[in-house]
Amino acid sequence: MRIDLMAGATTASVARDLTPNPTILVFDSGLGGLTVLDQVRRARPDASYVYVADDAGFPYGRLSEATLVDRSLAVMERLVSLHRPDLIVIACNTASTIVLPALRQRFPMPIVGVVPPIKPASEATRSRMITLLATPGTVARAYTHDLIETYAGQCAVTLVGAPNLARFAESQLAGAPVDDATLSAEIAACFVTGDDGRRTDVVALACTHYPLLLGRFQALAPWPVTWIDPAPAIARRVTQLLGAADRSVPYAGTVLGTFTSGSGLTGALRASLDRHGIGSIAVEAMPLGLQ
C-alpha cells in the first residue's frame, strides 16, 4: 500500500479509506519493542499486530553494522512475505540508526523507525547537560552523532553505551529481575556534575528495552531527572501515516508474537507477553548466521 497525501485531504481520511483495520508489524531484536507496541496499540486498537522479536539475533547492540543490516533484511524479508503488513515499525534504535535506508529501498510500505530522542531531550533540558542511554551499537553510530550535532549543539551530551541493560530488561520481564546494586552500577555514568555545579537533568532512553526498567531507574537515580521515552512520538507518527482509529467500530485487533528462536519462552515470560496483549505466539526459526 502506498499513501499519497493529496492537497486538501487529511492523512486520516485518505488513510482510513485505504486501510481499515490495518496490519502493523512491530520489529525489535527482543522484547524492548513492547514499549512501542503498547503505545501504538493505544492509538490504533483496531489494527492487527505482528510483534517480531529476533531473539535468535539478540542482543543487536553487539553486532557489527554490516551484520545487522544483513540480519534485519533477512528477518524482515521472511516476516513481510508471511504477513504483508500495511506499515512497519522498527522498534529498535540499534537497528533503525543503520538499516532504515536499506529497508525502505527493499519494501514499499511505510516504515517508521525509532531513533535516539536527542531533539526532545535538548528541548527539555534546563541545565544543558543531557545523557543518551543506549546500546554500545547506538552510541557508536554516525547517525547518532549527526543528531547530536544538529539538535544538541548547545548541550553537553554524555553518551552511555550500556552493555547489559537490554538483557536486564528481558530478565525482569521473564520474572528474574537483577538486584538494585547491579542496575545502579549500569546507569551510574548517566549522572554527571559539572565543574560549575550544573548537573544532568535529562536522560534520553535510546533503546526501546529501557522504558521496561523506568520505574526502577527513577527509584535508583541519585537525583531526579526527566526521562525521555520516544514511544508516544512513534505512535503519533503511525497515526499520521495511517490515520486515527475509527472508535465507533467495536473491533479489537489481534497481536501475534513471532520469535526467531523462542528458546526463552518460559511460562513467566508468556504471562508477561499476555499482559502486553500478545495472545498467540509463533516461532519462525532463523538462527543467526544462517539467514
In angstroms, what is the minimal distance from the CB of 134 to ligand DGL?
7
Edge-to-edge strand order for the sheet containing 156-161? 156-161, 129-134, 202-205, 226-228
190 a catalytic residue = no
Least Cβ distance, residue 271 to ligand DGL (angstroms): 21
Give me the least distance between CB of 136 and ligand DGL, in Å please: 8
| Minimum CB–partner distance for residue 163 and ligand DGL (Å) | 9
The residue type found at 33 is: G
Q: Is 207 a catalytic residue?
A: yes
Q: In what order do the strands lie in the sheet with 255-259?
A: 111-113, 87-90, 23-28, 48-53, 255-259, 280-283
Nearer to ligand DGL, 109 or 207 (CB): 207
> Which residue among 50, 75, 91, 92 is the active-site one?
92
Single out the catalytic residue among 115, 190, 207, 235: 207
Query: In terms of CB distance, is 39 or 127 closer to ligand DGL?
Result: 39
For residues 19 and 94, which CB has a smaller minimum distance to ligand DGL in the complex?
A: 94
Query: CA separation (Å) from 81 to 22, 74, 190?
Result: 16, 11, 41
**SS3 call for 195:** coil
Tell which phi-psi region holds residue 31, choosing left (phi > 0), alpha (psi between -120 and 50) or beta: alpha
CB of 59 to ligand DGL, least distance (A): 3
Ramachandran area for residue 201 (φ above 0: left; ψ -120 to 50: alpha; else beta): alpha
Q: Are 91 and 238 in contact (CB under 8 A)?
A: no
What backbone torsions phi and psi does residue 259 show, to the nearest 5 degrees?
-120, 145
Residues within the interface to ligand DGL (CB under 6 A): 28-30, 32, 58-61, 92-94, 135, 138, 166, 207-209
Q: Which helix (H) or strand (E) holds 111?
A: strand 111-113
Minimum distance from CB of 250 to ligand DGL (Å)? 33
Q: Which residue, 27 or 151, is less far from ligand DGL as judged by CB?
A: 27
Q: What is the spatial distance between Cα 36 and Cα 230, in angstroms, rounded to a whole number?
A: 8
Residue closer to ligand DGL, measured from CB, 3 or 95: 95
- When the beta carbons of 1 and 265 are compared against ligand DGL, the nearer one is 265
H or E stretch covering 233: helix 231-242
Q: How far apart are CA 16 and CA 18, in angstroms?
A: 5
**Which positions are annotated as active-site residues?**
92, 207
